Structure formats: structure tokens, C-alpha cells
Structure 1
Amino acid sequence: MSHPRTRALSDVLDQLESSVEGESVKVETVIAKLGHRSFASLMLVFSLISASPASAIPGITATVAAIVFILVVQMIAGRDCVWLPDFVTRREMSRAKLCKGIGWLRGPVRFTERFLKTRLTFFFHRPWLWLPLILILGLTLFMPFMEIIPTSGSIASAVIALFAAGLLTRDGIVVLASMLLLLAVPLAAWQFGFSG
């Protein structure tokens, strides 16, 4: 029988899908649904949205970068409760594009969950946890500029989602993998943008 944590990612998608009502959904509705203490869940949801076809929504990469930046700063500071400014929480996302993104994500999420388990848990204690958080903080500063390079913002968001998945399931191997990829993303985006 699988550990309950291995269903954590699908559970987050279920919660996100249940928050969608009407033609659009506000960021504050998503936060209320996932809980004001769920830093990892919120980071996972918004980075997955930016990595999915929903990233076609104009400005979504920059918005997600701002949200993740604010979340990470609060995690480093040791806050217990999530705070986001009004200009972020009032932003709306298209219901159709969001649901399409959720549907697209379910396959990869289910596949990933097969390999997740609790291990190398020292990564989730300070000061070790600060290292990936600082790397993510740096990456979010570049993400708004990645909108001009096709798919690079989605790749960066996918790496952040990988870290959040590791954090949510306490899988240190996944956190370690995300750290290595975080270091590679800016270089890969630069080379992709200026090749040819």
C-alpha cells in the first residue's frame, strides 16, 4: 500500500480543480482552497500552472514568478502563514485554460507520484533548506524576461514545481534533482534564446 504522501500532488490538483467556478478564478480563491499555511502546495500549484498549457495566458509567467518570489521570501523568514499583495490575489485566470492545464498535468503528476517517497529529509531543515530556496529566489528574478524566449518560462516553472513536489512529499532526492536543474535553467534559456 502506497504512503499517503505519494498522493499529495494529485490531491493538490483535486483541490485546485474544486476551486474553479464560473468563467474565471481569482488567485485568492486558490489560496483559500489550499490553505494559508500551505507554502509548498501553493508553490506547486502556481508553478504547475505556468508549466502547463495555461502558460499561454499573457503575463502568467511573470505573475507566477512574483507569487513564488513572495512565498520563498516568507519561507526563508520562517513565516507560518502565507501573505500575498492585493494586486496578485485579485488576478483572475481563465476557467477554460486553467481546467485544460489541470487535465494536461494529471498524467505527468500520476507518473511522477510512482517514484516519490520520504528520503534524505535533512534537506527540509535549516540551513540546508535555504540553499534551494535561494536558488529559486534567483530564478524568479529572471522568469519575467523568459516570456520572450519560447518555452523557457515553462521549463523554469517545471523545475520549481519539482522542488515543491519534493518539499510536499519530503523526498530529498527530488529536491536535490531540482537544485541541479535550477542551476542549469538560466544557461539553457540563454543558449536556446541566442542559438541559430
Structure 2
Amino acid sequence: MAEMHEATDMVEEMQDLGEQSDEVSVRDMVEALGHRGFGPLIFVPALVVVSPLGGIPGLPSLMALVIVLIAAQILVGRDHFWLPDWIGCRAVSDDKVDKATRKIHAAAEWLDRHVGERLPRFTGKVAQMVGALAVIVLCIMVPPLEFLPFAAVIPMLAIAIIGLAVTVRDGVLMLVGLTAAVAALIGGLYMLISM
């Protein structure tokens, strides 16, 4: 299997955005990653929430909304991504982006060494639609989970796995992501009921 650098490349693209401007908007992120397809547009926002940026109040819910819009467009079969202006203009400072990308860079390198094109039939159109539906369900849980510190990481980690699986066409990773989605749904519901 040829060595791939998808996760590292995406993190480095986010680092480059932070170096080019004082702020990085959702639209900047989408424009930087959009040429790679829908997978990175699910993976990177979820990864943002898993990073230290996930502690910024309201950011997990905003990223969940962005992901829902992307996943919904996968379900209806769109080829190009559409983003409303009121979401696209939301931004975080360059220093926060730099701090977050530095912390997740090692994880991205590890992912690149361990994922790749395996069982590609599990990342085909039908599998992507199943993944998109799972992602939407998990995103619905994020706003109430924000009341518990860093609890939004649980569903976002499963979403990140699904997004990466679509990006690198790794069917094994997609199966892991869907299993993680079920576990995150059960764990998230338990946490919400226990609040």
C-alpha cells in the first residue's frame, strides 16, 4: 500500500490558513479543503472539536451544524458543497488554530501510517449515505452535550473517524467509525439522561 499523507496534509492546510490571516473562518476552511471532497469537510470540523478548540463555548455546536449541512448534502447526492453566509463568516483567531493544529499534528501522522485504501466497497456511495445519516444523528446530540465539559468530544470522535474513512477510502475505518457511532450514541444518551 502506498504511503498516504491525507490527515497530515489537511492539518497542514489548516496551519497554513492560520499563518495567512488573523482569523480563520468556516468558509476559509471549506474553500481550503473542498477540492478534496466531502470527507475532509466532515473530518476537519470534527477534529477541531476533538482538539483544544473544542473547549470554546458554542464552537462544538457550530461545527456540528456545519457537519450536518455537509452530511445532508451527501444524502441528497450533491457534488458541490453549499454553505450559508451566516455560518461561513464565523471565525476563530489564528493563534488558536495554530495551537490546535500543533497538538493534533502527531495524531495525524499516526493516522497516515495506519489508514489507507482497504475494503473500498465500504466507502462507496451507499456506505457514505449510511455514514452521513449516522453523522447527522450524532451531531444532534452535540448542543446538549456542550453543557458537560468536553462531552461533545465523544460523538465528534466517531464523526472524525467516518470523515477520515471517506477521505482515504478505508472501508475498515468506516466500519470502525460506524461502530464508534453506535457506542457514542449510547454513551451520549446515557450522559444526557444522567444530567
TM-score (norm 1): 0.91
Tell me which amino acid in the other structure corresponds to 1:57.
I
Structure 1 equivalent of residue 108 of structure 2:
109
Shift of 1:42: 1.7
TM-score (norm 2): 0.91
Structure 2 equivalent of residue 161 of structure 1:
160
Q: How many Å separate the matches in 2 of 1:42 and 1:128?
A: 17
Indicate the percent of aligned positions where both proteins have the same amino acid: 24
Structure 2 equivalent of residue 187 of structure 1:
186
The answer to whether the Cα contact below 8 Å between 1:44 and 1:164 also exists between their aligned partners in 2 is yes
Most deviating of 151-160 and 177-186: 151-160
Residues 57 and 3 (structure 1 numbering): CA distance in 2 closer, same or farther, change over 3 Å? same
Unaligned runs of 5+ in 2: none
Most deviating of 69-78 and 105-114: 105-114
- Report 1:1-196 matches (<5 A): 3-4=2-3, 6-20=4-18, 21-35=20-34, 38-192=37-191
What whole-Å deviation, never above 9, does each CA across 1:44-84 have from its counterpart, x for those lacking one? 11111111001122211100110000000111111111101
Residues 36 and 86 (structure 1 numbering): CA distance in 2 closer, same or farther, change over 3 Å? farther
The answer to whether the Cα contact below 8 Å between 1:24 and 1:94 also exists between their aligned partners in 2 is yes
Tell me which amino acid in the other structure corresponds to 1:15.
E
Shift of 1:193: 5.5
What whole-Å deviation, never above 9, does each CA across 1:16-69 have from its counterpart, x for those lacking one? 111123332111112222235621112111111111001122211100110000
Q: How many residues align?
A: 194
Most deviating of 31-40 and 74-83: 31-40
Tell me which amino acid in the other structure corresponds to 2:104.
L
Unaligned runs of 5+ in 1: none
The answer to whether the Cα contact below 8 Å between 1:146 and 1:152 also exists between their aligned partners in 2 is yes
RMSD: 1.8
Shift of 1:150: 2.2
